[in-house]
Chains A and B, each alone.
Chain A
C-alpha cells in the first residue's frame, strides 16, 4: 500500500471556521485530494463545533506541480495575510499503542 504525501497549509494568522470551510470546499472538488483535515486550538464552549484553524493537511494521490499550483491559487484567494505550503507526511500512517489499547483503527 502506498502512503500518500500530505500538503500542509500554514496560514500566518489563525483562521476562522468559515474561512477554513471555504478552503476545504474548494479543495474537495478535486479528485486528487483524498483527505483533508483541519487542525487548530479548540475553544472551550458549549457549542460543539467551536474552534479556530491553525493549519490544514491535505492528503493527495501524488504531489506534483499542477497540484501545488491549484492549492497555491486557492490559498492566494482566501489567505491574503500570507501562508506557507509544505509537502511531507504529517499524520500517523499506522496505529500506535494507545490506538491498539482503545481497540481503534
Chain B
C-alpha cells in the first residue's frame, strides 16, 4: 500500500502534535513516573492491592456461544476477567493545555481498545474495564499529554477549563484535588478524582513553562497559532463542511449552488 495515513492536515505545531498523538505508531513521550498504586489511589475506584470487582465470571468459564465476531475480536484483559467498567476523566485548560477533548477522543480511538470515550467542552471521560482503564490512565498521566498545572484528573465538579490560571499558573479546581508546593515547584494530588482525601500526596511533577506548552499543545489560539495560519487545516474543515452538505439529503446541486441559487 502506498498510502500513508496523514492523521491530520497542516504543518503548524498544534497540527504536528495532533498527528503525533493520533498516530498509534508514535510512542507517547513519558515525562514523569507515577507508581501503579498511586494511579489506583488517584482514580479511587479500588484500594491498591484490592481485588478487582467483577460483573461476570471470566469469559473462559462463561461457555460462550459459537460466534464469528467473538472469534475475530480478541477480548482485552479486563474483559477476559469480567471487570467492572470504570472511568477516568480529564479537564484540559483552554490556556495551552497539552491536549484538548476532541484530540483525546481521536487519540484514544487510535490507541486503545475496548473503551468508550465522551467528549465535552471542559472535560473528557473514557470508560473501560477496570484493569484496562488503569493501564490507559497510567500511560496518559505519565505522558506528555498531561501537564501538572493545566490538566486535571476530575471525576466531578470539573469547572475550571475556561477560567484564568491562578497566580502560580495552576488551573482552578473548586475541590482543590491538587496543591502547588511552592518549595519544590511540584503539583501534588491530595484527593482522588471525586474529592476523597488520599493518605499521602502524590506528585505529578513540575508544570511545564508556557513557552514549551505552546509548542506541545494541540490547541489553536489567537495568542498562539490559529487555524487561519495553517491553510491546509482551514481548507480541510471547509471541505468537510461542504462534503457533509452536498452529500446530504436531496440538496441543491453543487454546481448550481456555486453559481448562486
Q: Residues of A with Cβ closer than 8 Å to B?
A: 11-16, 19, 41-45, 52, 54, 81
Contact = CB atoms under 8 A, between A and B. Distances in A.
22 contacts: A11-B164, A13-B164, A13-B165, A13-B167, A13-B169, A14-B164, A14-B167, A15-B166, A16-B166, A19-B167, A41-B160, A41-B163, A41-B172, A42-B174, A43-B176, A44-B174, A44-B175, A44-B176, A52-B166, A52-B172, A54-B164, A81-B167
B84 to A, nearest CB: 27
Contact of B166 (A13, A42, A44, A45): A13
Nearest to B164: A14
A15 B160 CA distance: 14
A19 B167 CA distance: 9
| Interface class of chain A by DSSP | loop
A81 B95 CA distance: 15
Interface in B155-193: 157, 159-160, 163-167, 169, 172, 174-176
A44 B160 CA distance: 13
Interface of B: 157, 159-160, 163-167, 169, 172, 174-176, 195
A15 B174 contact: no
Interface residue SS majority, chain B: loop
B174 A14 contact: no
Contacts of A16: 166-167
Contacts of A15: 166-167
A14 B176 contact: no
A43 B174 contact: yes
A57 to B, nearest CB: 17
A23 to B, nearest CB: 13
Chain A CB within 10 Å, residue with most, of B157, B159, B160, B167: B167
Nearest to A50: B176
Which 5 A-B residue pairings sit nearest by Cβ, starting from the closest?
A14-B166, A14-B164, A13-B167, A44-B174, A43-B174
Nearest to B160: A41
Contacts of A13: 164-167, 169
Contacts of A81: 167
A49 B93 CA distance: 25
A12 B95 CA distance: 12
Given A42-B174, A52-B172, A14 B165 contact: yes
A42 B164 CA distance: 14
A81 B163 CA distance: 15
A54 B160 CA distance: 12
B111 to A, nearest CB: 34
Contacts of A44: 157, 174-176, 195
A12 B174 CA distance: 19
Given A13-B169, A14-B164, A44-B176, 15 more contacts: A13-B166, A13-B167, A14-B165, A14-B172, A16-B167, A41-B159, A42-B174, A43-B175, A43-B176, A44-B174, A45-B176, A52-B172, A54-B163, A54-B164, A81-B167
